[in-house]
Amino acid sequence: MLSSSTISTLKSTLGSNYFVDDIFGTSADDFSAKGFADYLKHKSASAPLSAMEELTAEEIERGVFAGGAGTSSAYAHGVAFPVDDAVLNALDSLKNGQCNYVQVGVNVDTERIIHIESDTITIDDCKSKIPLNEPRFHFFNWEHEHEGENVSSIIFCYSCVLTGAKGQISAPVKQRMLYSTSKANVVSVAESRGLQIASRLEVNSVDEFSAAEILPVLHPAKAETKKTFTKPKPQGSRKLIT
């Protein structure tokens, strides 16, 4: 502790301008040529990033920003790829109650919005529909009960699952870019078919598409109103003293 507290004083006395680097070591090897080379390598290395930060940095570098999970996000300039008739028919079926789940994708080769599948499932089944190796768009009509009332909420979800170490992702960058820039157009197409989107989600893990995660988004907790203190009225009548 005493040695550490006198470092600045020692450097100042000897002349701080003579010192290029400060090295802290715990063994004699830290002060060898190899130890100094390791120190310089560590000093020049970039700061460690989380999986989401690595994804964002890569997409910004390539001109795309996909945003974070569960939030509305900033987009690169959106593109409006042609939409297959099968997608429109599936969205109509979702609106008419013939199914409650529709999955939509992007054909990277033809650059078209395509229909992947339609189904009638529960919200617990949704996570099994999310691919691990490529992004997808999901529409799910969740019929549930809230505060004693039956509620029907259409949820739009853009999924892009993060897998592997250090934020490595299965989906290629071009594929993620096409999906990211198609989000707004896909939602617009759904709304043009009369679907009212109650919530828009972006998930990077299959576990994020669950009732526990989505319910607070659809029905935020009401802020409690603070009760003001009311001064009690004095008992009996007051007499004026003259």
**Lowest-confidence segment of 13-17, 31-35, 127-131, 147-151 by average pLDDT:** 13-17
In this prediction, residue 41 has a pLDDT band, given cuts at 50, 70 and 90, of confident
pLDDT at residue 75, rounded to an integer: 37
pLDDT at residue 169, rounded to an integer: 66
pLDDT at 162 over 90: no
Beta carbons of 66 and 72 less than 8 angstroms apart? no
pLDDT at 157 over 50: yes
| Residue, of 217 and 68, whose pLDDT is higher | 217
Record: fold of 51-218: Severin (3.40.20)
**Lowest-confidence segment of 2-11, 78-87, 129-138 by average pLDDT:** 2-11
pLDDT at residue 70, rounded to an integer: 39
pLDDT at residue 91, rounded to an integer: 97
pLDDT at 205 over 70: yes
pLDDT at residue 113, rounded to an integer: 96
pLDDT at residue 61, rounded to an integer: 54
- Mean model confidence pLDDT for the chain: 80
| Residue, of 187 and 241, whose pLDDT is higher | 187
Give residue-wise pLDDT tens across range 46-101: 666 555 555 556 555 554 444 443 333 333 345 789 999 999 999 999 999 999 99
Beta carbons of 56 and 65 less than 8 angstroms apart? yes
Domain boundaries, the chain: 51-218
